Amino acid sequence: ETGVTQTPRHLVMGMTNKKSLKCEQHLGHNAMYWYKQSAKKPLELMFVYNFKEQTENNSVPSRFSPECPNSSHLFLHLHTLQPEDSALYLCASSQEGGLAWHTDTQYFGPGTRLTVL
Amino acid sequence: AQTVTQSQPEMSVQEAETVTLSCTYDTSENNYYLFWYKQPPSRQMILVIRQEAYKQQNATENRFSVNFQKAAKSFSLKISDSQLGDTAMYFCAFKTRSGSEKLVFGKGTKLTVNP
């Protein structure tokens, strides 16, 4: 696998379910991100992790719980979601700092299409 | 706070023709990056082109080029010889070099290439 991968690609869950989204980056980057993309709305940054430490929580409801066990893996744990949480959830990674040509450039995974019933 | 504005929600172009997508941004920073991302109907967001603000030369990637006007805070994307596969949402994005990892996106322009 290369780049940024996300599983599952599609997820349908009820409001009382608990599920997790997984993201893995194979680029050797030190920062990872969760974004929410809803129809007709700009991309919303949810969480940022840099060297496994959370550096940004963009006022996200507690029903979304991120976990970053190492620089290559990022999870988004979901519980008691609402129908308005239905969206495309995108993961991204980047190399922050340094002098490489791709520094500070985010690379995205294919996304998980989440539907909350 | 930085903002990115894409004033064209939708555009269309005939195959093989040239199209320009506009983007303006607002910042008080002097050192930053600008990006164009493409998101085809299959969803994956792909980096198209990147520009570093301190570089005066406009970035180019094959059929894609930018017109970076730093004083005007304008960063337009030109697609030459448009192809059907260029049909996608295009997002302009801004990132400061001051230490924040945050990427600020515009609302996107939906480009349709017609045969």
| Number of alpha carbons in the 13 Å side-chain half-sphere of residue B52 | 10
Do residues B52 and A105 lie in contact, with contact meaning Cβ atoms separated by under 8 Å? no
What are the Cα distances from residue A112, in Å, to A22, A31, A71, A107, B58? 9, 19, 20, 15, 34
Q: Which two tokens stand for residue B8?
A: 């064209």
Q: Which two tokens stand for residue A61?
A: 């409801």
Instruction: Please tell me the distance in Å from B82's CA to the nearest CA on chain A.
Output: 24
**Between these two residues, A101 and A35, which has the higher pLDDT value?**
A35
In this structure, what are the phi and psi dihedrals at residue B30, rounded to the nearest 5 degrees? -110, -20
Confidence (pLDDT) at B12: 97
Q: A–B: how many Cβ contacts below 8 A? A: 44
Confidence (pLDDT) at A59: 85
Q: Using alpha carbons only, how large is chain B's radius of gyration in Å?
A: 14
Q: Which residues of B touch A109 (CB under 8 A)?
A: 44
Strands (E), chain A: 4-7, 10-13, 18-25, 31-37, 44-50, 53-57, 64-70, 73-79, 87-94, 107-108, 112-116
Do residues A20 and A77 lie in contact, with contact meaning Cβ atoms separated by under 8 Å? yes
Q: Is 60 exceeded by the pLDDT of residue A1?
A: no
B115 close to A (CB below 8 A): no
Q: Which residues of B touch A96 (CB under 8 A)?
A: 101
Strand, coil or helix: B83? coil
Question: How confident is the prediction along chain B (115 residues), in pLDDT tens digits per residue?
Answer: 789 999 999 999 999 999 999 999 999 888 899 999 999 987 789 999 999 998 889 999 999 999 999 999 999 999 999 999 999 999 999 998 766 778 899 999 999 999 9
Q: Is 70 exceeded by the pLDDT of residue A100?
A: no
